[in-house]
Structure 1
Amino acid sequence: MKKIISFSVLFILLCSFSIVIQNHFTELVSEKLEQYSTTNSPEKIYVHTDKPYYALDETIWFTSYLVDGITHEKSKKSWVIYVELIDEKDSLVSKKKLFTNNIAAAGDFKIEKNWKSGKYLLRAYTNYMRNKSADFFFKKEINIWSADKADSLELSLVKPSGPDLSFQQIKPDLQFFPEGGDLVENLRSKVVIKVKGVGLKDITFSGKILNAQNDIISNFGTSKFGLGVFSISPQPEKTYYAKLEVNGVEYKYPLPKALPQGHTLGVINAGNHIIVNVKSNETMALSNTYLVVHQRGKQILNKFEPEPKDSYTLKIPVDNLKDGVVHLTLFDATGNPVCERLVFIANDNNKGIIEIKKDKGVLGTRKRQTIQITTKDQNGAVLPSHLSMSVRDLNAFPYNRFHKNIKTYLLLNSDLRGDIENPGYFFDEIDSKKRYLLDLTMLTNGWRRFTWKDLLYNKDTNSFDAEKGIYISGRTKRLKKPYGPVSAPTRLTFYGENIIQEPVKKSNISGEFKFGPFIFFDSIQTIVESRLTDFKSEREADRNILILIDQNEEQPKVNHNRVTKNNIASNLQLENYIKVTKYIQQLNFELDQQRQQLEEVTIIAKKKEDYEKREEDMNNQTDYGFPSNRLDLETDFIDYGQTVFDLLATVPGVSVFNDSIYIRGGTGSPLVLLDKFEVDMDFLSSLQASEISFIDVLKGADAALYPNSGNGVIAIYSKTGNTSFSRNIKRKPGIIDFPAKGFYTAKKFYAPDHLSGFEEATKPDIRTTLHWEPKITINNEGGQDISFFTSDSKSDYLIEIEGVSQSGIPLHAVSTFNVD
């Protein structure tokens, strides 16, 4: 009787514990996944360029696609995209700020002649994406070649394709990936083998799995990508190893040690459904375990197991899932993830097709080609989409249909921890073999967008906001005692085609104000005003206020992890590209020479160096021409943690003692000006070095322009002080003007018209990018026609189209035509 009561109590306690676990942990997982897939959903960016590599003096044409990281539909967060070009020294050489409220945004980078050839990094991100690791930024390697220097080709970097037969002298690197994560004693599991090493992935290997007594347990063989698989049921306290024999040399590799107690997670991808097998080698050990299935963070299924059992099977239909990686995780009774498995879903219901109909398959030189582009779903209905198209010379840019594109990036590479080589292979005419190899690839990779520990237990705080437009922000400070931040009415006015004035806002207790978001392109002249009380006041004292405009945020650190490598061609093809580029440059040079040969006028121009431009900009802000001494904080190395007194101490002819300043030759304190307005010496202590653009020191005759300047003048100019704009505005404290930089407007790709263009008929036409169409919109009404002319080059040409449908289906298609 006692035993019956004891067992009943134990059973009740176990059930109560099960309910507590289920209610707390399962709700936590569901809640965090819901937050991740909605409120905190990530963003993804893909950038389509017109060609894989470039020469100096060319232009990189691109279209960037910004999508929600869960659905791949239009992002509901950001409308602002930053695209950067970074050199081999991790220095930013060019940056574009683009606007889009509908997935795609076009841009371009002009490659200057004086740039160095080498490998550049094309990087794209949103401000919101900065809340996570820079690993999630889009990053693509761009090779830029110099056509003038033969040694700049670095053709030795281009390796012949095919196996590297030097592997005979190298031990192959063999890696093991048990399904679910671990081998477990007495439980049969699949184990994927991956052979790594230069040239080894394309070579077929065969081997054996043996135990410590050299008994053969299983055989295995590798195929494409060096992948193979075998099954094993490890026995307690037994060890196993794989044996390979290569050219008469035998190599041994120990298998991972099996766990004495544990769980396995086996998955069969049957196409229209997946079968999940969960097992444990302990009786009743699956009690209180929790299986979670999600796709890119959106929960598909969860199963809490309250019953004391050691196995169960699930069948999960995939008809309603999007294409991409599905993530399965098994949590044990204590809430720790113990098994993990990735599965790739390729659902026929998500099929998106780009139809390319060409006017002609073979054309002559300088002839019009018209292409009709339509996107359709699996039922043949029009699929509204956003696309971009490149047409390029196949002799200069050979096409590898297995290389990365927008489909492989959004569905595979952007979500996996490892890198997948030639991912296009898995999307090119999918068959059973490719599905099988893709499933083995899933077993060798892990999910990388979040870890369960971070998702469940770390507070998700965002330091960077999603941007809908351009913000103009800054701070207000007192010009007189008591110095420091002040809350003050502030007003912003745009002087464009029309004068637009924003309502007055009061800066906060820290003096901070912010206007926006605004949507405008290029630059627009802007005035910001502030008063200590209100704008109706006529008292001059109400203008004793300093306005400092915030500068652009610091550029994110350069991270070279997970960069999409360039699809480099063969030596012969690169040489052909360089020859064509040199010929184009020679033609352009000769045309420029002809334009400059005027009968009686000789034009001599010299490009201003950066320092000359900077000097001119600073002199334009002054009324006195040239100073006695100058400290330029934007070109000299400055520690922005320094005070103004520290900075002045570095200027020749200036002495600083505590908070007193003297100019050599003077007997007292000099006149101090900030943006041409006189300020007290004490005010300098409220200024930071980061707020200052440059400092001029005037003495003797140079200072005579100003009254009471017998002891010299120290003229300080803030980074957003008075510029040359609006000279008619009477300068007073409490007002500044500056050009506000807007979104970049992409240049138009030069497309010659050989029917009606006079200039085009009189000069040669050689183009490696025959045409670039950055924005093609397919709406419900149907397709779109794109027309362009062929050039003088007889060659085969590739049409490559990439994009995303409005429903979140990534699209990619190619076609070819010939010019004879």
Structure 2
Amino acid sequence: MNKKLLPLLIFSALFFFAFRSTQNTDDLLEKIATQLKKYSTTSPQEKVYVHLDKPYYRMGETIWMKAYLFDGIGHAVDSVSRILYVDLINPSNGTVVTTRKLLCKGTAVGEIALPDTLQEGNYTIRAYTNYMRNFSEDFFFQHNFQLWNASSDNSLSKQKSLKKNFNIADLQFFPEGGNFVMGMPARLGFKAIASNGLGVDVSGFVLDENKDTVLHFQSEHLGMGAFEYIPKPNKTYTAFLQKIDGKYQGFDLPKASETGFTMMVDNLSNTENIKVYVAQKGENAPVKPTPVVLVAHLRGQLTFMAKGNCSTKKLLFLIPKNTIPSSGIMPITLMDSTGAVILERLIFHDDHNRMSVTIQSNKKTYKKREQVDLTITAKDNEGRPVEGEFSLSVTDKSQVLTNPHQQNLVSYMLLSSDASAIYPAGNYSPNNYTLRGNIEQPAYYFDQQNLQASRHLDILMMTQGWRRFDWSTIMENESQPASTSFFVETGVELKGKVTKNNGKNAGAISLTLMYNKVKNKQPIIKIEKSDAEGNFVFYDLDILDTTTVLLQALNKNGKKSDMTINLLPQTSPPKVKVVQTPLLPMEFDAKELQTFLQKANETIEIEKKMTFNKVNMLDEVVIESKRKESNTSFSQYGLASKSVKIENGKCTGVTDIYELLQTLNVAGLRIIPTAHGEYRVTLGGGFHSFNSNDGPMFVIDNMEVPRDMINSLRPCDVEIINVYKPVDAAVAGFNSPGGAIYFHTKRGNSNYDYSNDPASGVTLRKIIGYQTPAEFYSPKYNVQDPRHYQPDFRPTVYWQARVKTNANGIGTVTFWNSDAKSTMNVIAEGIANDGQLGTAQFNYELK
């Protein structure tokens, strides 16, 4: 080969390699940006947070709650879903209660009553939308709480002291970025976990295999800390911690790699940039520069992307903080030119763009049962007033003790909902770990008065895992959107299929749905058409609680006798996959617990007395009504002119409902056939035909229906018929001058199981709708009320789910104190109209 051509060939090869590497990284940058945007578009996520009135409960109490629904990327309140499911899950992972709550502008309010038949233990509130079920259950809101039995001695025997020392179960190490290499500076995060599954502060030292001391270390917060060292080749290292008994326990440090990449991130020293240092070590020195890409995103929003060539010498990337759109966890990922992840480190960016919320009372101290006026003031981070909506709880601190820095709206949305802490599962064996979303004392990291909060939050980030998605999902899933087995629900839906009675396809069918939203009001009527296969859906039904609906199918000839309607079951709660995470220990001992249970038991006895009085009053009403039982119906209306129970023999052989009416022998009731094969019904001088509204009103199971609806009733489906002549109808509350005929069906009986009993052309079904929120009872002691003679030691003194601040940023509430001589704890959480989050806590004295 010509020696003059050799340098040219070498230069050409290097140039080609460099050009190809640059082209590969450029293509990768474009692909990353495209895929992130596509993922955010095709796989939008939702987040739910639920504010409860207090952290734990006793049997027989009510959990008062307000839920907030956000989109998972920009955290805008009022996502597209309109139904929120809130489940109560018992210690055995069984779903005890499921409620459906109507979301209005991204919020929903409601409650869950805790039966006194529940067992003690660790319960979970789980909240989610139907659409959220397309993703991992880890993204559902989950809150664990302790349920106590105030009248049982087991509560004290099970927990003699809540202040207790625990042995160290494990010491976990987390190399920064996920890897560290022999001979290269490394930072190791660590967390010590006690046998109760929670972090425990420790100090210790590291020895090499020759028992030489390498370094000493000490945790800084909740068992977490970090130290730097350079792992040497052919060396092994062991960390030692002292146990409660004075003995030392050893934990092996992770083994360093012989070759590879390292990452060190500085998020604290500079107010303008995040500094990211990366380097690599190869088998031979010097290391050939390797093309790499550094990517950062905030909840799927691309915030930084750059390329570089990494060698033994540190490669520095500067991420401008002013380009990061909002606060939150930001994964920083190093990739090779193919898009494979090499290293990843989480950091938390805080732009401090949150509401400043304060609570003030009109007095410093109060007397029992005295009126309290609280003022909530909301301002943005520049001091300007903010309009928003808050939920507020007032609890008795002698009964309701709170953990320091417990979860709140801000800490959940910005931190806990996106990070996974490593916690032991089951019996907390060191060899049995699972990724969980539980972070101890999450509000600690947002305490503006805490000068160490930022540093401790950065250490926390070294021990966490990003859990919203992984890069392989993004990069490999080029065109396929996320699974959409569970669609967005914008209202209560009723789905099903219409077939002929012989099971064959009925084709396109017109269906009429009727239900009452408000009793004694005109029913709501909706009409839909099935598709060619007979499938149908009624969307966005405004149904409250449990409501009976009537559904009728008509073919193109207006007939329904040969039709069968099969309704699909409503959305059921998903299978529980919850792994009970450890409860944070309360800062009180057995004596304080005994005081809480004693007061709770006194409150139970008071409520029992009040309930007993109410029952006595109800018993008197029941006894009075029993005297007239033979002439009353199951309906909500008054006494009927005549009530007839339809025995099986009476309906056998009867062809239709009109023939059944003729068998009642009611004076003044006439069934008159017409020339068109229809009937006129007259009652007490009036008449009812197809074209007349002067005849009797027809009611099926408390629902007023048109005349043609009763044609669908099968005689043997009717349990009782009540006939109201015009005068009696007016007294009973019917708005019908022609009287009324009430049909109480077997399906309308709450004890009748009709789920597998389809009727020809018509069906009745109980549908579970939105929960109607109950009103929190707050006595007004400035007015006379017999209930005020009872002692008042309620643990939750006041709860208001919707406190609005006006254009001046001011909101007010008024309530009356209980009889307790205690400190009252006030907590407010909420969101501004522009999306800013805010929380506040306040105490006042009751003497």
Give the TM bin, normalised by the shorter chain. 0.7 to 0.9
In structure 2, relative to structure 1, the CA distance for the partners of 1:432 and 1:509 (3 Å cut) is same
User: Residue 354 in 1 paired to residue 376 in 2?
Assistant: no
1:438 alignment partner in structure 2: 457
Report if the CA contact (8 A) 1:371-1:786 is conserved. Answer: yes
RMSD of aligned alpha carbons? 3.5
Any residues of structure 2 matched to 1:236-251 within 5 Å, and which?
A: 236-244=233-241, 249=247, 251=249
Rounded Cα–Cα distance in structure 2 between residues aligned with 1:355 and 1:97: 32
Rounded Cα–Cα distance in structure 2 between residues aligned with 1:213 and 1:599: 83
In structure 2, relative to structure 1, the CA distance for the partners of 1:592 and 1:277 (3 Å cut) is closer
Kindly provide the amino acid, as one letter, of the partner of residue 569 in structure 2. Q
Which of residues 99, 108, 113 in structure 2 aligns to 1:96?
Answer: 99
In structure 2, relative to structure 1, the CA distance for the partners of 1:781 and 1:203 (3 Å cut) is closer
Which whole-Å deviations, capped at 9, do the CAs of 1:36-90 have from their partners, x for residues lacking one? 3344221111111111222222211111111112222214321210001122333
User: Residue 476 in 1 paired to residue 520 in 2?
Assistant: no
Any residues of structure 2 matched to 1:264-343 within 5 Å, and which?
A: 264-270=262-268, 272=271, 273-282=273-282, 287-305=290-308, 310-319=313-322, 320-343=324-347
Rounded Cα–Cα distance in structure 1 between residues aligned with 2:146 and 2:325: 38
Rounded Cα–Cα distance in structure 2 between residues aligned with 1:228 and 1:131: 36
- Cα deviation for residue 93 of structure 1 reads 2.3
In structure 2, relative to structure 1, the CA distance for the partners of 1:15 and 1:770 (3 Å cut) is same
- Cα deviation for residue 214 of structure 1 reads 4.9
Report if the CA contact (8 A) 1:290-1:333 is conserved. Answer: yes
Which whole-Å deviations, capped at 9, do the CAs of 1:661-686 have from their partners, x for residues lacking one? xxxxxxxxxxxxx99599xxxxxxxx
In structure 2, relative to structure 1, the CA distance for the partners of 1:592 and 1:233 (3 Å cut) is closer
In structure 2, relative to structure 1, the CA distance for the partners of 1:364 and 1:28 (3 Å cut) is same
In structure 2, relative to structure 1, the CA distance for the partners of 1:604 and 1:415 (3 Å cut) is farther
Which whole-Å deviations, capped at 9, do the CAs of 1:163-218 have from their partners, x for residues lacking one? 44xx4xx7x6332211111111332121123222248954441313x444555444
1:114 alignment partner in structure 2: 117
- Cα deviation for residue 149 of structure 1 reads 2.5
1:14 alignment partner in structure 2: 17
Which of residues 815, 828, 832 in structure 2 aligns to 1:805?
Answer: 832
Report if the CA contact (8 A) 2:440-2:584 is conserved. Answer: no
In structure 2, relative to structure 1, the CA distance for the partners of 1:677 and 1:122 (3 Å cut) is same
Rounded Cα–Cα distance in structure 1 between residues aligned with 2:474 and 2:650: 59
Report if the CA contact (8 A) 1:175-1:193 is conserved. Answer: yes
- Cα deviation for residue 625 of structure 1 reads 9.1
Report if the CA contact (8 A) 1:243-1:250 is conserved. Answer: yes
User: Residue 69 in 1 paired to residue 72 in 2?
Assistant: yes
Which of residues 804, 823, 842 in structure 2 aligns to 1:796?
Answer: 823
Which of residues 777, 781, 789 in structure 2 aligns to 1:762?
Answer: 789
Which of residues 576, 580, 590 in structure 2 aligns to 1:571?
Answer: 590
User: Residue 580 in 1 paired to residue 603 in 2?
Assistant: no
Kindly provide the amino acid, as one letter, of the partner of residue 187 in structure 2. K
Report if the CA contact (8 A) 1:54-1:143 is conserved. Answer: yes
Rounded Cα–Cα distance in structure 1 between residues aligned with 2:843 and 2:62: 23
1:545 alignment partner in structure 2: 563
Kindly provide the amino acid, as one letter, of the partner of residue 157 in structure 1. Q
In structure 2, relative to structure 1, the CA distance for the partners of 1:335 and 1:285 (3 Å cut) is farther
Rounded Cα–Cα distance in structure 1 between residues aligned with 2:227 and 2:589: 37
Report if the CA contact (8 A) 2:156-2:590 is conserved. Answer: no
Which of residues 167, 170, 174 in structure 2 aligns to 1:173?
Answer: 170
In structure 2, relative to structure 1, the CA distance for the partners of 1:263 and 1:597 (3 Å cut) is closer
Which of residues 225, 228, 231 in structure 2 aligns to 1:231?
Answer: 228
Q: Structure 2 regions of 5+ residues with no counterpart?
A: 422-437, 625-634, 636-643, 652-711, 717-751
1:667 alignment partner in structure 2: none
- TM-score w.r.t. length of structure 2: 0.76
- Cα deviation for residue 799 of structure 1 reads 0.5
In structure 2, relative to structure 1, the CA distance for the partners of 1:738 and 1:233 (3 Å cut) is same
1:126 alignment partner in structure 2: 129
Which of residues 487, 492, 501 in structure 1 aligns to 2:513?
Answer: 492
Any residues of structure 2 matched to 1:586-601 within 5 Å, and which?
A: 586-594=605-613
2:544 alignment partner in structure 1: 521
SS of equivalent residue, structure 1 residue 474: strand
Rounded Cα–Cα distance in structure 2 between residues aligned with 1:101 and 1:602: 39
Any residues of structure 2 matched to 1:388-399 within 5 Å, and which?
A: 388-399=391-402
- Cα deviation for residue 487 of structure 1 reads 3.7
How many residue pairs get matched? 703
User: Residue 531 in 1 paired to residue 554 in 2?
Assistant: yes
Report if the CA contact (8 A) 2:162-2:585 is conserved. Answer: no
User: Residue 422 in 1 paired to residue 420 in 2?
Assistant: no
- Cα deviation for residue 488 of structure 1 reads 2.9
Rounded Cα–Cα distance in structure 2 between residues aligned with 1:40 and 1:565: 33
Kindly provide the amino acid, as one letter, of the partner of residue 498 in structure 2. T
Kindly provide the amino acid, as one letter, of the partner of residue 534 in structure 2. G
Q: Structure 1 regions of 5+ residues with no counterpart?
A: 606-615, 628-673, 679-714, 723-732
1:401 alignment partner in structure 2: 404
Rounded Cα–Cα distance in structure 2 between residues aligned with 1:264 and 1:758: 72
Rounded Cα–Cα distance in structure 1 between residues aligned with 2:101 and 2:110: 7
In structure 2, relative to structure 1, the CA distance for the partners of 1:489 and 1:588 (3 Å cut) is closer
Instruction: Indicate the larger mover: 777-786 or 383-392.
Output: 777-786
Which whole-Å deviations, capped at 9, do the CAs of 1:102-145 have from their partners, x for residues lacking one? 22211111222333333322111100110111121111223222
Kindly provide the amino acid, as one letter, of the partner of residue 609 in structure 2. E
Which of residues 720, 731, 736 in structure 1 aligns to 2:763?
Answer: 736
SS of equivalent residue, structure 2 residue 127: strand
Which whole-Å deviations, capped at 9, do the CAs of 1:559-617 have from their partners, x for residues lacking one? 22375836645322332222222222222333444556679959679xxxxxxxxxx9x
In structure 2, relative to structure 1, the CA distance for the partners of 1:717 and 1:413 (3 Å cut) is closer
Rounded Cα–Cα distance in structure 2 between residues aligned with 1:78 and 1:564: 31
1:457 alignment partner in structure 2: 476
SS of equivalent residue, structure 2 residue 594: helix
User: Residue 555 in 1 paired to residue 573 in 2?
Assistant: yes
Instruction: Indicate the larger mover: 177-186 or 429-438.
Output: 429-438
Kindly provide the amino acid, as one letter, of the partner of residue 492 in structure 1. L
Kindly provide the amino acid, as one letter, of the partner of residue 161 in structure 1. K
Report if the CA contact (8 A) 1:139-1:563 is conserved. Answer: no
Which of residues 353, 365, 369 in structure 2 aligns to 1:366?
Answer: 369
- TM-score w.r.t. length of structure 1: 0.78
Rounded Cα–Cα distance in structure 1 between residues aligned with 2:419 and 2:19: 39
2:51 alignment partner in structure 1: 48
Which whole-Å deviations, capped at 9, do the CAs of 1:453-494 have from their partners, x for residues lacking one? 2232244222111111112211111114x7256443334344
Kindly provide the amino acid, as one letter, of the partner of residue 529 in structure 1. Q
Report if the CA contact (8 A) 1:286-1:310 is conserved. Answer: no
User: Residue 624 in 1 paired to residue 674 in 2?
Assistant: no
In structure 2, relative to structure 1, the CA distance for the partners of 1:409 and 1:149 (3 Å cut) is same
